[in-house]
Amino acid sequence: MVLHIDMDAFFASIEQAINPRLAGKPLIVGSRGNKMRTVVCAASYAAKALGIHSGMPSREAFSICPDLEFVAADQSKYIWTSEQIFELLKEYGLPLKYASIDEFQLEVGTYPDPLNLAQKIKTQIYANFNITASVGIAKSWLLAKLASKLDKPDGLTVIDDSNFEQTLRKTPLDKLCGMGGKIGAGLIAQGLKSCWDLYLNLPEFFTESYHSSDKSGENPGKSGENPGKFDELPKSVSHSYTLSSLQRNPQVIQAWIRVLSEMVAARLRQKNLTSVTVHLWLNGPEIGNFGAQKTHQLATNDGYEIYQRALKVMAKSCPKNPKIRAIGVTCGGLSQDSYQPLLKEEIRREGLIKALDRINNRFGEGSIHPAITDLAR
Ligand SMILES: [Mg+2]
């Protein structure tokens, strides 16, 4: 069995938990600070009850409810809370995955009482953060995610053999993960209305089970300049480069880290992979072989993000301002999970990256590149 834990109105609930004046009120979190010229990126349940939802222009939300409370989104707060919840869930010692900033998946296998476990998790999250989660329990991820949505907020829903047919019959198809967009609309146009209709046509869609070891990745092997350390990351993508001369200028070194990060990111995207672990390797006369890594909860295949993470590794563990001869950037902890960006900045960057990839695919690698990387040429 698997547990899908989905936080209820996550950003809005965090704002209400932090500021009790907002508790219980209709509230929207806007993706930008100008409250009349932004888009709702989260709505509290009191706002949802009025018909306000995420994706709606804030002006429209205010026309529905002039007294609406407004808070501008603060990514750092939400990411921090998300990471704290992840840490809390890790304590259970069961295979755990980040599904998105506010969704977590726990594989409970043949755990004797998953319902009790789910209740415990809900209680713990509420006690620690003063926000609620809805939990779905089922045999597959898809069904567990569906179950988590059926009794929001603060829900706890099991889909098992006893209620499988009944639940699928009464659940509209577009509630199912992946059926909200064109595919779902196409199937609905063909006359499939409920999840049960889809099950009758495509039963295997529902029975897919969790294989934590079945994530595809690649091991490009060691390239000439890489030290043996890279072997510690069995599934990784890496690029390294030996500079033409010893280099101490931090800007040039950073430029090379950016180049390598972008190269690694482009390969991850080609293979539809995302990574949680960034490893930085540096070689120089004073530091010898320096290697350190950090694993983050949120996966990425954005070169800029990988670069930022590599710089943090360097700032934290590497001796200050060393002479450098060679540099390597490796991304590990790979998976093919699609991550749905929620934050405006992430969505903007995703669009930007796609555009850059298209340009480089058409006009040749490096046709368009970050300005900083010119220092590395
Ligand atoms: Mg949620």
**Distance from the CA of 154 to the center of ligand 1, in angstroms?**
11
Task: Write out pLDDT tens, residues 286-295.
Answer: 888 888 888 8
Instruction: Quote the ligand 1 centre to 4 CA distance (angstroms).
Output: 11
* Distance from residue 247's CA to the centre of ligand 1 (Å): 47
Please check the confidence at residue 192 and state whether its pLDDT lies above 50. yes
| pLDDT given for residue 130 in this prediction | 93
Percent of the chain with pLDDT over 70: 90
Give percent of the chain with pLDDT exceeding 90. 47
Residue 218 clears pLDDT 60, i.e. is over it: no
Q: What is the DSSP string of 51-107?
A: T--TTSBHHHHHHH-TT-EEEE--HHHHHHHHHHHHHHHHTT-S-EEEEETTEEEEE
- CATH 3.30.750.210 corresponds to the domain 228-376: no
Q: How far is the CA of 342 from the centre of ligand 1 (A)?
A: 10
Give the pLDDT score at 337. 62
The CATH number of 2-6+92-207 is which of 3.40.50.11140, 3.40.50.300, 2.170.190.11, 3.30.70.270?
Answer: 3.30.70.270
Catalytic residue among 15, 103, 305, 346: 103
Confidence of residue 221 (pLDDT cuts 50, 70, 90): very low
103 is annotated as an active-site residue: yes
Q: How many helices (H) and strands (E) does the chain have?
A: 13, 12
pTM: 0.60
Annotation: CATH topology of 9-75: MutS, DNA mismatch repair protein, domain I (3.40.1170)
The confidence score (pLDDT) of residue 235 equals 67
Say whether the peptide bond before residue 153 is cis (omega within 30 degrees of 0): yes
Q: Structural domain boundaries of the chain?
A: 2-6+92-207, 9-75, 228-376
Of 191-195, 218-222, 271-275, 357-361, the one with minimum mean pLDDT is: 218-222
